[in-house]
Amino acid sequence: MQRMALFLNAVSSGAAATCVFLLAAAPVSGQVAPPATADTVVAIAKPRNPLPAEAQSAKTTRFSLIAYGDTRGLRDGVAEQYEHGLVVDDMLRTITRLERSPEPVRFVLQSGDVVVNGRDPKQWNVSFVSLINRITTAGGVPYFLAPSNHDVTSAGDLESPGRKEGLENYLHAVG
């Protein structure tokens, strides 16, 4: 199954956004998952270049962002998400390519379903967090995650213990 990331050039003047699809191209090598415990999700590393204060960016009219989603896979909790790693490789190349352009990538947004079962800390720690750390440290940009049903469960009852476990793991991951 191929995973894709959507790259958007955002233009604050109201012009239409330009969309380019980035396809995974190269294998990931030498990645090591962060140390994991059986019950605690490791926090994603803080970005090397956090978003500037509002006053500092008030006159910014052009920037880029990368938006993508649904990276869960069959190896969650067993190994790093290989296909997701390919997408991250492409993101890092794009971040580097645009770094000194008029439209640098300012952040990455993921729309959820990052693991199959968000209640399982091992899935976050073994399969997911180290990949996102590459975005925040090597890429240097902030990462934002909007949780979805696989991340916090789709239980209708907001007080469901399973939902609370998933939400707690999500909150640990995003710091």
Residue-wise pLDDT for 40-75, tens only, equals 999 999 999 999 999 999 999 999 999 999 999 889
Phi, psi dihedrals of residue 20, rounded to the nearest 5°: -135, 130
Number of domains composing the chain: 1
- Residue 160 corresponds to which tokens in the numbers above? 């469901």
Cα separation, 169 vs 42, in Å, equals 9
For the chain, residues with pLDDT lower than 50 are 1-34, 36
Domain residues for the domain of 168 are: 4-27+36-174
Neighbours of 104 (CB within 10 A): 16
Assessment of whether the complete model's pTM goes beyond 0.85: no
